[in-house]
Structure 1
């Protein structure tokens, strides 16, 4: 394993690691479990989440290391007690809002929990962000807070030194650009990750992933930002896909990804990613040890289609809206004025989740107006960032006059572009 005398963050020009991560992975594209539908389990973008989901026992206690904005909130469908820790206070708050039972801001090498607290300690895309000088301290903490019969599971970013330059071979400028993309300062080869975990756990198993299947966005990211080689005409094809076409591509990739797991097929080394399980007790099946997807087909499926408007092909968004985000909830950015046209046989209220990233909203609140079929429903000022859930009540007389056709108009007194 490489020996680093100086922190790679420092070499990459990152003097304040806490500040570097403060908002880097805070996004409104978080997996909101309320809107996750059974069919989403086939989407390649949720393959890592589904691996954790299928290997966690219902009703157990789970610690999510580096929880980000809450990508594992789906575990709440299995009745787990879900705790998240992250270096960023903004991420911790976002995960709490996204359904985690407890979240806190802390260093992963100093977990504020008693010994033998959790049945599972899990992470996705975190180990590659931990510096080499700190990894052993983090894994020691994982072992400490895990119960004697507990299991730790991780989706880990990897490298292939035969195909890529290692950190020592990068110039200061190249290293800075590399770290700026995702913050990866701890990439190791697949077997090196396994060897590290064997220092702390008696049983370790890992499987390379993503040798064959990537999302459309990830193919482009690996090519454009990391320099991986793919056929140019294939990349041009991906760049030209519409939102619905990207969705179809990602579903097909995810379906194949899932079947590889179901059939326990061993993939060649990818140099990109590895799934890893470790425990002090013999490990169960690597895939689907506790697969129970009944909760994915629960009453959550009965949510009205209009609750998530982008799931309804009959709904029309005018030019005041931008393309939707990729992860549930399928949220859209809007300009100063935007309209939504839809039909409904019965309409007494409209539920909305909304947020703004306008930086000065506390000093100067954002004025919003909501108009349905040319009739003002409400107006108010938004004075904080973060998601707000609200309901607009539709007057009976307005509904009666509409004859099933509606146009919801939203107006803001200003807009902002980062």
Structure 2
């Protein structure tokens, strides 16, 4: 078996990796686990430690300790590779240390060209791919002078935050202070981009030895503006000329970045002038998209990424059903009572219902993927219209009363 040092492997990844012939030494940050899993974080990490072949805790924000933990784990295990396909915030240092040790799966440059929104936008401009007008600023107060070169509205976003945090549709310069508050202390580069109009998709790919395989195209359903928070995803888009266009431009980006191995998730808007790339990440799609792929196609994309690391390519068979995840977004406030959850769970097309609030809890305003109010995963729809109708039925059944 090959030895793999893996930074923040989720529980679901560990058995998949072992099934593909890897021994896993897992590195996790307790603070990152708390951010992702809340009060369940200690139990989650205990189970990771139990499943993994080796386990270490380290503070990802302490660059020296984090890099040292990777080096020590490689030295002790004789690891063949170091890999990180978790949260983007801690990804780059892991790839840099892996490259230094000769254990990199992808070059740090290729990962940066996908994950960093400014680096990606610059690459696309220089390569003449997916032309989108943009400008950069070092501070939110420097954004207003840039607006004279754009037609409002524009999209403003941080270059290095994930989960839709800080992505905002700016219709008036007077909204800049409100956007600044949503950045919550972020101090990196900022982007101003032309507002792209059209249906939005994501392309799920798996790269094996530099060859990019399209797993499928996901239709993204946006919630209300000015925030770009998805209210749902549909996996199982039929292959059509437009989805082939969308997939092709994602593959073009991966080629330009020099990406060599593993999953990528690339978001694309199909404008009247053709497909335009929004952003990309060197990891699996979030928001339960891997679960939708498994439901709609019977394909285990989590295991497939470890097969890719071993040099084996696999893609789902064509056909199948449409799987849908629909997110809840209720008015913000203190929850007094909720009803209809049992009725929803009793529906034969409901795979999973998640509503993590009890009376007395505060429902926050939905401004990022982390502040949504739960979700339902629906199975076996014949097409998108049926999936939408089923999601509407679920939303109609759930009644929330706020104080």
Bin for the TM-score computed over the shorter chain: 0.3 to 0.5
- Identify the structure with the greater helix proportion: 2
Point out the structure with max Rg over C-alpha.
1
What TM-score do the two structures reach when normalised by structure 2?
0.35
- Could you say which structure has the greater relative contact order, defined with CA pairs below 8 angstroms and 6 or more residues apart? 1
What TM-score do the two structures reach when normalised by structure 1?
0.34
- Identify the structure with the greater strand proportion: 2
